[in-house]
Structure 1
Amino acid sequence: MGRLCWCCLLLALPSCGPSSTPPAPDDEPPDALVESVAAPPPAVRDDTAEARTLREDLVREIRRSPPWSGATWDGRVLGALQATPRHLFVPDAPIALAYEDRPQPIGHGQTISQPTVVAIMTNALELRGTERVLEIGTGSGYQAAVLALLSRRVFTIELVAPLGEVARERLEKLGYSNVEVRIGDGYAGWPEQAPFDRILITAAPPEIPRALLDQLAEGGILVAPVGGEDEPQELVRLTKRSGRIAKENLALVRFVPMVPGNAKPNP
């Protein structure tokens, strides 16, 4: 994998839905669309006032626009972002920078995604709290931490061993007990734990791996960026119904490529 490539939103695409949601007005209370989620682990409850304010400001900015045309924000997703200490997942960045709505490098040619992209992808999963979720691309562990507050159990795979090991230690230290981290090839999925109600891919494959489609449960949802490193990528949502896959295009995005296990990632 060569040059660094950001995990960010380029353009939201029109939806086939019946209506669209206007941006939240400036005079709307900042928590009007934010719903409470499961209490964060003990290690993150004694957060600083500065961090809490920065998260509130970030969520207020994200919710000004709909996730994509025709869609509405799930208040629980916004609540999870507001409850997740992003600065602890980018420890080398100043706290204010950690809460800017842009990607941040985390080493080994990888990035932690733009918060808006994390919110959009999580929103697209339509989590209700009972799901078993497979994440491909653990990175720093931030996305897994958000998912942990919204689902029953999270299984996350990271190809780059140093990243995965640090993420595992971080998540365990912070008390995210419903997250399990594996170092391995995301293209193969996690067959021993399949099927999964939801699958989230946080790097861009040229096409969705067959193994992951096979591991998606009936009625399940898979969300992923799809496309080559040097071509437009689309954020897609796939739903499995009666063994068939229905596809929706949600947005144009820019993600690091999804590297197969037989390729050598950046050191």
Structure 2
Amino acid sequence: MDEAALRADMIEGLEHRLGEPLGGAVLNALQTVPREAFVDDAPYADRASEAVGTRALAPTTVARLLTVLDATAGDDVLVVGAGVGYTSAALAEITGARHVHAVDIDRRAVHLARSNLADAGYDAVFVDCRDGAQGVPEYAPYDRILLEAAVVTPPRALCGDQLAADGRLVYPRGAGDQTIVAVERRTDAERRPAEGAGAPAEDAGAPAEESAPDGFHTVETGGPARLRPMLVDGEQAGVERNRTRREDAELARQGQRARHGWEQEWIDWEAQR
């Protein structure tokens, strides 16, 4: 069976699992991108695949992310977690390759994504090795930002100036059970509810991991997901994590200094005597 027929079978299975047909842009992207250029082992099976320590998302997860992202031609997109490059290739079909910027904290994943994208004809996609929590400010603002990693709350840098005023940020929300969500900034009217009005229904009584970041609201959900948690600098494979250095920097940014506390729990005090 040829690859085009395998992709057609994959899409038929996706639509059956999702319970609805894919939108035109997402459908065309998944029909066009040769998944076999990114995944060696059973590329059209609906399961995640491992490669050099990174993971190719299952086709159903990719379809859910792309559907909720709702990118259109010409949108500038930032993908945090380049992985093997498959999602970036699909976005290149939707928005144009030069509008897609992808980063990964794992240098091996960056090399793999670049190689896969070049082999598949998408070498105009920007791929760089960076801490995704800091984004890519030099190409901002982005109309769409996609996190291919689970977080409870997206990094501030991505929610700030790097997201266009009318932009959309999509991520798997949650530390355990995850739900794919799309958030957008609240309008002035939404930020100033009428006197006596309560909190927006989305946030009323919701657990912290189910609420949108400050100044944002959830505009769409895309179903369950099971992605790895987002890494920050020092947590990538092959790099020894310097917890004190990283968290001291975080405290400094917050204007706080603590001599004792949770950030020192790892220290073996007996060995310090």
Q: TM-score range by the shorter chain?
A: 0.7 to 0.9
CA pair 63-172 structure 1, distance change in 2 beyond 3 A? same
2:173 corresponding residue in structure 1:
226
**Residue 150, structure 1, aligned to residue 94, structure 2:** yes
Among 37, 50, 66, the alignment partner of 1:88 is: 37
Q: Which amino acid aligns with 2:170?
A: V
Tell me if structure 1 keeps the 8 A contact 2:15–2:21.
Answer: no
Q: CA RMSD in A?
A: 1.9
1:57 and 2:9 aligned: yes
Q: Which residue of 1 aligns with 2:231?
A: 259
Q: Match for residue 254 of structure 2? A: none
Q: Confirm or deny that 1:179 pairs with 2:131.
A: no
How far off is 1:239 after superposition? Answer: 1.4
Give the CA deviation at 1:72: 6.1
State the Cα distance separating 1:111 from its structure 2 match.
1.3
Matches within 5 A, 1:2-13: none
For 1:113, the equivalent position in structure 2 comes to 57
The CA distance in 1 between the partners of 2:138 and 2:114, in whole Å, is 19
Q: Give the alignment partner of residue 130 of structure 1, picking from 74, 77, 84.
A: 74
Match of 2:151 among 194, 205, 208: 205
Deviation of 1:205 after TM superposition, in Å, equals: 2.0
Corresponding residue number in structure 1 for 2:43: 98
Matched, 1:163 2:109: yes
1 CA distance for matches of 2:224 and 2:107?
29
What CA deviation, in whole Å up to 9, does each residue of 1:194-225 have, x standing for no partner?
11000010011232111111111011111111
- The structure in which a higher percent of residues are strand is 1
- The one of 1, 6, 23 equivalent to 1:74 is 23
Greater Rg by CA = 2
- Contact between 1:218 and 1:241, CA under 8 Å: does it hold in 2? no
Question: Relative contact order, CA 8 A, sep 6+: which one is greater?
Answer: 1
Aligned match of 2:217 in 240, 243, 246? 246
Identity %: 33
Q: Which has the higher helix share?
A: 2
In structure 1, how many angstroms separate the alpha carbons of the residues matched to 2:238 and 2:6? 32
Superimposed CA distance per residue, residues 44-92 of structure 1 (whole angstroms, 9 cap, x where no aligned partner)? xxxxx6111100000111122547xxx863122011101111111013x
SS of equivalent residue, structure 2 residue 12: helix
Alignment partners' CA distance in 2, 1:216 and 1:151: 16
Can you list the C-alpha shifts for 1:159-198, whole angstroms capped at 9, x where unaligned? 1101101211221233214410010100100011111000
Q: Does the 8 Å contact 2:64/2:222 carry over to 1?
A: no
Which amino acid counterpart does residue 159 of structure 1 have in structure 2? I
Which segment is superposed worse, 202-211 or 181-190?
202-211
CA distance in 2: counterparts of 1:72 and 1:127, whole angstroms: 17
Distance 2:108 2:147 in 1: 19
* Secondary structure in structure 2 of the residue aligned to 1:134: strand
Count of aligned positions: 209
Deviation at 1:246, TM superposition (A): 1.7
Change (3 A) 1:241 1:129: farther
Contact map agreement 1:216 1:240 (CA 8 A) in 2? no
Distance 1:201 1:103 in 2: 16
Is contact 2:92-2:125 (8 Å) kept? yes
Gap regions ≥5 residues in structure 2: 189-214, 240-273
TM-score computed with the length of structure 2 as normaliser: 0.71
- CA distance in 1 between partners of 2:58 and 2:157 (Å): 27
